[in-house]
Structures are given as C-alpha cells and as structure tokens.
Amino acid sequence: SDPDPLQDFCVADLTASPSVNGFPCKAASAVTAHDFSSAALSGKGNTSNAFGSKVTAANVLAFPALNTLGVSMNRVDLAEGGLNPPHTHPRASELDIVLKGKVLIGFITTGNVYYSKVLTRGELFVIPRGLVHFQRNVGKGDALIITSFNSQLPGAAVLPTTLFSAKPSIPDGVLSQAFQVEESVVDDIKAKFGS
C-alpha cells in the first residue's frame, strides 16, 4: 500500500535524512548488483527471551534497495511453545508462509471476530492491513515463518510493549481502568517489561 515508484529503483541512501516518504536515492552510478541482494534473513533469530520468539526484519532499513518498491519481508523464529505476541502493522497487509513446524496464526477484525488456523509447512495465511494478529508455535521443536508485506516499512505496534513499556509510561490509572483490574496488577505487568 506504499505509493507507486516514479523510477526503476531508488536504492536508499540511509546516511541521508529520510524525506516525507522514504529515503533519498543513492547515486545510480554507485549502484551495483550487490545492492539488490541481502542476507538479512539468512540467520536464525535468537529466541532466548520471555516470548520464545524473534522477528528479524528485511525492511528498507535492513535492505536499502526496497526503498520506493512497496515490499518487505520478515522471518519469525519461534522456539517450541514460542509466541510472536499480538501486534498490528499500520502500513501493510501481511502474507505468511510457514517453512517449518506447526503454527497457530490468528487475527481479530475491527468487529471483534477472531479468525485463526493451525498451519504447517508450505501453507499460507493472510493478515489484512492494520488488524491485530499473532503467531504461536503449537508443534514439537522450532518453527519458522516468512512474512511478507506490501510496504517497505510496515511498522509494528506490539500490544504488550506498546501498552506496558511505553516511554514515558502510560499512567497506571488508564491501564487499570482499561483492563478493569487493580493498579497493582498493572504494576506487575509493567515490571515484567522493565518499566
């Protein structure tokens, strides 16, 4: 859903300041075939964390040739039982392919309907733009998903961190009222996110 390009390519000059939409182009005379490939997704992400998951991004910041082209990809590594927590992408729909393991993928519509499916190798699932979604490894051993986006920089608002580890912190009263729990519960959750 990014704007259409007005030239064949515009490899980002990440040292220049971003302009309104994306980055200025590196001089075409300095562009080589090397610019159009990337090893950004070649390594397994480190899943040794509280969620047991790691998202590695190949967006315009990691792969400058994507600038102006309206596409990007992530790899999502999930340890056994791992969760990529509920989040949304304000600027893109997301198309997932499971490459390894057994994964529960779900999203929730703005009408509060939950759609989900357990997927295995080779199966696809699509997340409509902006909707809250997650992936959870429900099989034995590691799982791997490749996710792709119709934006060079889809953005991600990860609900637990957005709500409980914003800087500065969202007032406890707002969260206790929103979730209808005591402020001590809010403090417990904030503490888990180092806030």
Tell me which residues touch Mn ion (CB under 5 A): 94
Environment class of 147 (CB within 10 Å of its CB; exposed 0-12, middle 13-18, buried 19+)? buried
Work out what residue 151 binds among ligand GLV, Mn ion, none; the CB cut-off runs from 5 to 8 Å by kind: none
Q: How far is the CB of 83 from Mn ion (least distance, A)?
A: 12
Nearer to ligand GLV, 149 or 164 (CB): 149
Longest dimension (CA), the chain: 61
72-78 vs 103-108, strand pairing mode: unpaired
Q: Is 103 in the site for ligand GLV (CB under 6 A)?
A: no
Q: Which amino acid, 154?
A: P
By rule CB under 6 A, what string of x and - marks binding of each residue 34-73 to ligand GLV? ---------------------x------------------
Please report how the helices 172-179 and 183-192 are oriented relative to each other, as an axis angle in degrees rounded to 10: 110
Chain contacts with ligand GLV (rule: CB under 6 A) = 55, 74, 76, 84, 94, 133, 135, 147, 156
